[in-house]
């Protein structure tokens, strides 16, 4: 479908209204205090964003800025499953870039818009700790579930990739999976209790390895080519530094 046909199909959806002057269509979801924005962009491509927990005027202004930026810098992200547009400002205080989720990853559509998921590219304001911009489609899908990307009042939660193996034989798959910080810290507690190894990577894809034997109170920690022996509490503190502030900040503490 070309832009005209996409606009015509959107105009026929009962849940969607045109937004004059913005070349957008909106779907208001009152129970979630959210507005979804759709803008036909090119043949079989609809740009999308969603804004939650802002007054309508502010939500519209932010959404138009996001969609204008996506259109203006389209050549940087076209055809990619996941990409970042940075630097970017003008949105919520926590945001310093846009994350762009390609067709097949975003899969966004209005209630009746069954033609939209296979044509929709989405963009959202994020903080740099929330996405690397190099996630696989599967990793991005998990992240979208864990991170309310359209909530403009959220506190950013860092993305963490991890794998682990305990001495009792239990553990994760061999590849690194996306996890929540609390989940990873829970695994760290199990490593301390049972013995084993935990590897995690932050938003920079910098890696930390923690190992210990069952019954010991300290862990061997290797990061940035440096090794130390640390307590459980120290390992937790270093985890927060690395996932929130990055490897440079961690090395200042670790060194």
Q: How far apart are the first and last CA of the chain?
A: 58
Chain center to CA of 90: 19
Residue 187 and residue 109 share a domain:
no
Residue 122 and residue 15 share a domain:
yes
CB count in 10 Å sphere of residue 245? 15
For the cut 90, the answer to whether the pLDDT of residue 166 exceeds it is yes
For the cut 90, the answer to whether the pLDDT of residue 233 exceeds it is yes
Q: For 125-160, write each residue's pLDDT tens digit.
A: 999 999 999 999 999 999 988 889 999 999 999 999
For the cut 70, the answer to whether the pLDDT of residue 238 exceeds it is yes
For the cut 90, the answer to whether the pLDDT of residue 20 exceeds it is no
Residue 208 in contact with residue 242, Cβ under 8 Å?
yes
What percentage of the chain has pLDDT greater than the value 90? 77
Chain center to CA of 251: 25
Average pLDDT of the chain to the nearest whole number: 92
Question: Is residue 209 domain-resident?
Answer: yes
Residue 165 and residue 122 share a domain:
no
Comparing C-alpha atoms, which of 7, 12, 81, 14 is closest to residue 38?
A: 7
Question: Of 8-12, 40-44, 86-90, which range is least confident?
Answer: 86-90
For the cut 80, the answer to whether the pLDDT of residue 254 exceeds it is no
User: Residue 94's pLDDT band (boundaries 50, 70, 90)?
Assistant: very high
Q: For 28-66, write each residue's pLDDT tens digit.
A: 998 889 999 999 999 999 999 999 999 999 999 999 999
- Pick the last residue of a domain from 146, 174, 193: 146
Please compute the mean of the pLDDT values over residues 98-107 and round it to a whole number: 90
Residue 229 in contact with residue 218, Cβ under 8 Å?
yes
What secondary structure letter does DSSP report for 156?
P
Its domain, for residue 91, covers: 3-146
CB count in 10 Å sphere of residue 11? 11
Stated pTM of the model: 0.91
Cα separation of 90 and 36, whole Å? 19
Cα separation of 196 and 188, whole Å? 9
Residue 66 vs residue 254, higher pLDDT:
66
Q: Looking at residue 82, what is its pLDDT? A: 95
CB count in 10 Å sphere of residue 104? 13
For the chain, the domain total comes to 2
Cα separation of 130 and 244, whole Å? 9
Cα separation of 85 and 34, whole Å? 23
- Pick the last residue of a domain from 112, 146, 180: 146
Cα distances from 104 to residues 3, 70, 138, in angstroms, run 19, 17, 10
Q: Looking at residue 255, what is its pLDDT? A: 66
Q: Coil, helix or strand for 222?
A: strand
Residue 98 and residue 35 share a domain:
yes
- Pick the last residue of a domain from 86, 120, 146: 146
Question: Is residue 151 domain-resident?
Answer: no
């Amino acid at each position: 479908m070309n832009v005209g046909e996409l606009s015509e199909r959107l105009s026929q959806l009962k849940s969607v209204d045109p937004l004059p002057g913005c070349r957008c269509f909106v779907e208001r979801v009152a129970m979630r205090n959210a507005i979804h924005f759709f803008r036909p962009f090119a043949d079989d491509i609809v740009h999308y964003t969603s804004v939650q927990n802002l007054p309508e005027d502010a939500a519209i202004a932010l959404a138009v800025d996001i969609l204008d930026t996506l259109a203006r810098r389209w050549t940087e992200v076209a055809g990619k499953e996941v990409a970042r547009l940075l630097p970017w400002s003008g949105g919520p205080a926590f945001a310093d870039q846009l994350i762009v989720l390609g067709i097949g990853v975003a899969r966004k559509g209005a209630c009746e818009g069954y033609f939209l998921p296979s044509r929709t590219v989405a963009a959202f304001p994020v903080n740099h700790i929330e996405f690397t911009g190099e996630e696989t489609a599967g990793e991005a899908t998990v992240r979208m579930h864990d991170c309310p990307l359209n909530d403009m009042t959220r506190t950013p939660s860092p993305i963490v990739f991890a794998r682990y193996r305990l001495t009792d034989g239990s553990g994760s798959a061999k590849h690194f999976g996306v996890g929540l910080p609390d989940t990873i810290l829970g695994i760290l507690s199990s490593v301390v209790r049972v013995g084993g190894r935990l590897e995690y990577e932050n938003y920079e894809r910098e890696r930390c390895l923690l190992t210990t034997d069952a019954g010991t109170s300290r862990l061997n920690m290797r990061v940035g080519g440096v090794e130390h022996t640390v307590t459980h509490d120290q390992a937790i503190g270093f985890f927060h530094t690395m996932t929130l502030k990055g490897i440079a900040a961690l090395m200042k503490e670790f060194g």
